[in-house]
């Protein structure tokens, strides 16, 4: 008889920032980014970003634990925007979810969904009016099933 794996989702603490950064790196590698396309100081860059987001953007990460080990993570924060934000907060206060990662042997068990829902709940507590994320092809169905709509982002490759 198969034993059901119990998944515990909890807020990450500062001592787990390096783990969050490693998951973020591995997410890019799992999405077929060759190592030479990732900056060699990716760990320093990611830790600096997390530190700054924690100071300015209410950054929070969540961890998934199973079988007494960390098997996934997600990060979320207020969305800083790509241009001057002149819209009042009560109309547009966006949250951003990034770095959703689940270890390969624990995928397809609903962990990514649980992590995303935890991040959404946190952003809702911050009074966000919308949540944004960029999905990998393998993650799109998870987010669509949660109610995320495809965005109108348009891209133009220059290389």
17-53 pLDDT per residue, tens: 999 999 999 999 999 999 999 999 999 999 999 999 9
Backbone φ and ψ for 49, nearest 5 degrees, come out as -60, -45
Domain assignment present for residue 90? The answer is: yes
State how many domains the chain has.
1
Give CA separation, 136 vs 13, 28, 96, in Å. Answer: 26, 9, 15
Specify the pLDDT at position 3.
Answer: 54
Residue 2 has pLDDT above 80, yes or no: no
- The answer, yes or no, to whether residue 79 has pLDDT greater than 60, is yes
Q: Examine residue 159 and state whether it is found in any structural domain, yes or no.
A: no
CATH of the domain at 28: 3.40.630.30
Domain hosting 123: range is 8-145
Percentage of the chain modeled with pLDDT above 70: 96
In angstroms, the CA 72 to CA 102 distance is 4
Give CA–CA dist 57/96, Å, rounded. 10
46 in a structural domain: yes
pLDDT tens-place string over residues 87-137: 888 888 999 999 999 999 999 999 999 999 999 999 999 999 999 999 888
């Amino acid at each position: 008889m198969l034993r059901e794996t119990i998944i515990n989702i909890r807020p990450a603490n500062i001592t787990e920032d390096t783990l969050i950064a490693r998951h973020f790196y591995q997410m890019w590698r799992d999405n077929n980014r060759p190592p030479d396309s990732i900056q060699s100081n990716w760990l320093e860059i990611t830790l600096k970003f997390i530190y700054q987001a924690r100071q300015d953007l209410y950054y929070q990460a969540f961890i998934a634990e199973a079988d007494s080990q960390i098997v996934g993570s997600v990060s979320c924060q207020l969305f800083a925007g790509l241009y001057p934000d002149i819209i009042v907060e009560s109309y547009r206060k966006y949250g951003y979810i990034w770095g959703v990662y689940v270890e390969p042997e624990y995928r397809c068990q609903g962990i990514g969904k649980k992590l995303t829902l935890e991040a959404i709940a946190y952003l809702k507590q911050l009074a966000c009016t919308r949540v944004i994320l960029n999905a990998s092809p393998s993650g799109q169905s998870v987010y669509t099933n949660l109610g995320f709509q495809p965005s109108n982002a348009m891209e133009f490759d220059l290389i």
